[in-house]
Chain A
Amino acid sequence: MTTATAGVLFILSLLAALAVAYRYLGDHMFRVVAAEHHGRVERGIYRVLGVDPHAEQSWGGYARSVLAFSLISILFLYAFLRLQDVVFKVPDFAATIDERVFPHLAWNTAVSFVTNTNWQAYSGESTMTHLVQMAGLAVQNFVSAAVGIAVAVALVRGFARRRTDRLGNFWVDLTRITLRILLPIAVVGAVLLIAGGVVQSLGDGTAVTTLTGAEQHLTGGPVAGQEVIKELGTNGGGFYNVNSAHPFENPTAWTNWLEIFLILCIPFALPRVFGRMVGDNRQGYAILAVMATIAIASIALTNVFELGGAGTVPQAAGAAMEGKDVRFGLSDSATFAAATTLTSTGAVNSFHDSYTALGGMMPIVNMMLGEVAPGGVGSGLYGMLILAVLTVFVAGLMVGRTPEYVGKKIGAREIKFASLYFLITPTLVLIGVAAAMATGNWRTQLNVGPHGFSEVVYAFTSAANNNGSAFAGITVNTPWWDTATGLAMLLGRFLPIVFVLGLAGSLAGQSPVPASAGTLPTHKPLFIGMVVGVVVILVALTFLPALALGPLAEGL
């Protein structure tokens, strides 16, 4: 079996598994968010939080709850990280930890994990203790993912409900999504990963003698538990610095397959929840089709570029294997790279910096698309729905009616929120890159010329889109980089969330317009094609100059 054939089989089997997940995981998630019943544990949590689970919130209340919860999370995580550094006097406290968590890194890391970005300006195994990994970072891996799903569900409620200002209760959504969706899948996934060879212990590792006779300390730890939610919650923060390229995180080709499946399963299944909640499954299929079209095209292109192996070094070496692990090979690495950047995961099993110029451009483009195909858990669905709203607006005019999407009119207020949402990430990326170039902070990069520029573009694109993967090749643990990327992550997460909830509130207040022959059908191939076109064209128009000076200059 050639590499290409194996790669195609790998992708096809993934697609088949995701199709099953769309149906069954999607229906399960729908039942969870629509449920009336509160479990015993859940009622206990509500009592502790002092929340009335039957009291629904307006969009403002929902947004305030999201922001308050996230603020507390950031403060807690920041304090936790500083505590490790100051009180326990790490590095003396734990033998394996030899790096400090300075305030700028603590800020960056706290923001990074709360915003579901999981940008890591540090090396996990040598900076974070097991306690921080488990009680600090892994907890955020769960709840930051749940926040994303909750916001997406609130937006869908906006579409589905009529003449109300109530969008549900954030605390209920958060609790249920964590306990009924993320936790069960994570437990099953962790067991499978352990079976596949991922380590899970509380020890501080093993000392081994290598072939050359040298002593080497292999860091162990509670890896599998963190690994599974890292993928499932599209977080991406690795236990180890080299992330899913590490044999303890991702030992074999089939764990690689499982990890990609875990990354994609919730984002791809959420459109089902949308279809079910608005009472028209075809709408869910349409959104799924848009996501799948872009995703398949992107995965295919990344594979083509990497297998093609353009560039001097790959040509000389025979293949673009630099920065890739032979366990996975070209194709499975490329597919992982596409999956991790099409979602907001940011886990890597190979080093994007070492990809061919155009192959390395694909992860950047994927993130620039706004991570909507399928995107992060929740954030992918709401991002895509915003783009669908913008498409409906222009397309709807062309059929001679005030545009409407699943029965809700897209007027000035809706367009205001959608436009603001759309503006945030390009603004953060472009201003961030320009600032790095103008202030000279690009000098921490490893490469020069277009490739070095790509490293800077990658960093801000990843931070602002809450992806968290790094191109590598650039040192970002400096006060300037930690602060700047921290801001990009924070604003890139919560401003869009506020606008999404604002849009949801505005939609929920409307009474739906019944569909007729004069209504733009939003479940037909024509519309699906239009959304794909709008996504690609808007992104191309915004970022083409930047891409031209980076990967395009290098790769053409």
Chain B
Amino acid sequence: MTVTSVATPHPRPQPRKVGGGLLDPRQLWKSLPDALRKLNPATLWRTPVMLIVEVGAVFTTLLAIAQPSGFSWAITGWLWLTVVFANLAEAVAEGRGKAQAATLRNAKKDTMARRLTGWSEGAPADRYREESVAASALARGDLVVVEAGQVIPGDGDVIEGIASVDESAITGESAPVIRESGGDRSAVTGGTKVLSDRIVVRITQQPGESFIDRMISLVEGANRQKTPNEIALNILLAALTINFLLATVTLQPMASYAKAWQGAAPDTPAFGADGISGIVLVSLLVCLIPTTIGALLSAIGIAGMDRLVQRNVLAMSGRAVEAAGDVSTLLLDKTGTITLGNRQAWEFLPAAGVTVEQVADAAQLSSLADETPEGRSIVVLAKEQHGLRAREEGFMPHATFIPFTAQTRMSGVDLSEGNADRQIRKGAASAVMKWVRDNGGHPSDDVGPAVDAISGQGGTPLVVAELVTGQPARALGVIHLKDVVKSGMRERFDEMRRMGIRTVMITGDNPLTAKAIADEAGVDDFLAEATPEDKLALIRKEQEGGRLVAMTGDGTNDAPALAQADVGVAMNTGTSAAKEAGNMVDLDSDPTKLIEIVEIGKQLLITRGALTTFSIANDIAKYFAIIPAMFAVVYPSLDALNIMRLSSPESAILSAVVFNALIIVALIPLSLRGVRYTPSSASRLLTRNLWVYGLGGIIAPFLGIKLLDMIISLIPGIG
């Protein structure tokens, strides 16, 4: 999300690639103080794996002080670095959120509110009182008035008036939006600015619980709760840690026995007369416990939320992001998601005895003043297909435009050239036909069938008719308006199917129309003539079958369904009720984003799984480094396990510890960005990730440790 002061539109993500921002090395540096603060055990206990490393580091520090040597200080230093690197990962992830929170705080200036008492709609000014109070003193239900240039003091619904509002503080979008009383565009957010007109707002929030407050705490991760899956993974990591702790602790008596038996074996710094040195045991422990994933786990979670924020989606909980990955049914509103927002003129069908150019010409004339998207699309079609240039209103002095009304259900134009008047009407078939009959004409036989055919295909027919002075009115032809499916939707839905996600189109259209569009878009199912109750029932039915459902919605009547859905994305343009009910808010109000949200949820889980696999697979190589380093002196045959041919026991152990620390830093960008995710079936995803992170996790440390050993062995006293 871009900041308010920099008034550039926020960068749009590439549609097909789920990724995140790159890691700036300066961010690492800036986060260092935070990382050091996190060394405090009181905060570190939340990551038990790293707490164990810290305890180990304290222990080796004491040992190094008692018996200083280059080796023991080197190990100690790298153990501390391991903890710092882990903290750094978390600090960097949090740091991104903090920057966003700071800009949000700017928006939340201490504004004054003009509270109204005794106000009722249409009441004269002397019937109510206005007082000035601090925005923070506003309670739910208070009424405030906001005029051009003023900041809206809190979240609420417009109950009177209409205004253009600058919401860039929240959405990063500089173009103003319209907010008006009634309907689905009534919600306003505290901290946004009214640019024109005057509105009366009923406050819907409690003090300190405004949308901006929630956003700030969300992006800061202030009260970040561990998500269910994160808790489960933490339990597994804790179990592995205990397991390796046992394996290490119980090693000492076993080793002492071997040492006692091989009395002639020389003492080494790693394995002396009183058994394995504490430094080496701690090194072994730290290398074995899953430090890589333990260090990066919380950063992965924070970064996952952050990736949503970068796409201007606010998830109210991490649980919702995780649920997004599990979604198996997507409910998509037809309009705006699957089809372009409005119907568009598709073709002109002339009646008998009329040329298509005549129809196009009449249709264009009648639509010149029609500013609806449908009207504009007619002008565009006339120009594109028939080369008819749009005539400017000003060039037609004798034209009188008849606007569309709900009563007449048609619009048109009256032209007077000399003494010949020409009236053109365009509108719903029944209305225009009646007009033709009323004016003495009778529609030709082929208009009716054409209208029916268009309806049958799910389109909307508009009939164009004219009345020239002295002649009966006649129908010229039909305009075919059609829902245009957004390009690429079919491919997208095919992809969803491969991911195992069922798409259901929700529309208010009749079943016939709905089916035509559903077939064209390639969705799996559709719900036609959908009422809010139908939606809710559909969600319940899917959930009963064990499926998780995601949907978007904006209206108040969507609220129950949004609340019932496992992932409910409310549009920012929607009502407060919708925003309250959903567990995510899309600031761009782009319903297509639901698909991206699902992908981000999946990517979050994949990143966790991949790094866990990598972390565990790493241990194999570390054993091959450390076991011969410890025991070859007692049992020379065990040198056969030193397949990396590491130069000395000290160098081998140090290399393993250094690798273990550096791999954390190396993986910070991956944990923040997330593992590359291309939508495909579970089998393919698993195969790919297993090769990369499983096999890679086995091989990488062999190479890394060998390389580090070649460098470390150059250090005198260790190599």
Contacts and interface: CB of A to CB of B under 8 A. Distances in A.
Contact of A553 (B236, B623, B638): B638
A214 B497 CA distance: 83
Nearest to B635: A553
Nearest to A422: B239
Contacts of A512: 546
Interface in A499-556: 511-514, 516-521, 524, 526-527, 530, 533, 537, 540-546, 548-549, 552-556
Interface residues of A, number: 66
Contacts of A430: 246-247, 250
Given A395-B686, A398-B686, A402-B229, A552 B288 contact: no
Contacts of A514: 328, 545-547
A483 to B, nearest CB: 19
A407 interface: yes
A313 interface: no
A513 B546 contact: yes
A106 B404 CA distance: 100
A553 B326 contact: no
Interface residues of B, number: 76
Contact of B254 (A395, A401, A453): A453
A512 to B, nearest CB: 5
B353 to A, nearest CB: 55
Contacts of A407: 546
Contacts of B261: 448-449
Nearest to B617: A537
Given A513-B546, A537-B620, A556 B229 contact: no
A430 B257 CA distance: 15
Nearest to A543: B247
Nearest to A510: B546
Contact of A434 (B235, B253, B605, B694): B253
Nearest to B604: A400
A274 interface: no
Given A434-B249, A511-B546, 20 more contacts: A393-B233, A395-B686, A395-B690, A396-B609, A397-B605, A398-B693, A400-B685, A401-B682, A419-B236, A430-B246, A434-B251, A434-B254, A516-B328, A517-B682, A520-B686, A526-B687, A545-B248, A549-B631, A553-B631, A553-B634
Contacts of A540: 620, 623
Contacts of A416: 232, 235
Contacts of B613: 394, 398
Given A437-B254, A517-B499, A401 B326 contact: yes
B229 A411 contact: yes
A548 B603 contact: no
B605 A546 contact: no
Nearest to B252: A434
Contact of B623 (A410, A431, A541): A541
A20 interface: no
Contacts of A518: 328, 499-501, 681-682
Given A517-B500, A549-B255, A553-B631, A398 B640 contact: no
Contacts of B681: 517-518
A422 to B, nearest CB: 6
Given A549-B631, A553-B635, A399 B606 contact: yes
Contact of A519 (B243, B500, B609): B500
B236 A427 contact: no
Contacts of B502: 516
Nearest to B680: A517
B409 interface: no
Interface string B602-630: 11011011101100110110010001000
B608 to A, nearest CB: 5
A422 B244 CA distance: 13
A91 interface: no
B431 interface: no
A412 B253 contact: no
Nearest 3 Cβ contacts at the A-B interface: A518-B500, A397-B609, A400-B602
Interface in B236-273: 236, 238-239, 242-244, 246-258, 261-262
Nearest to A419: B239
B251 A526 contact: no
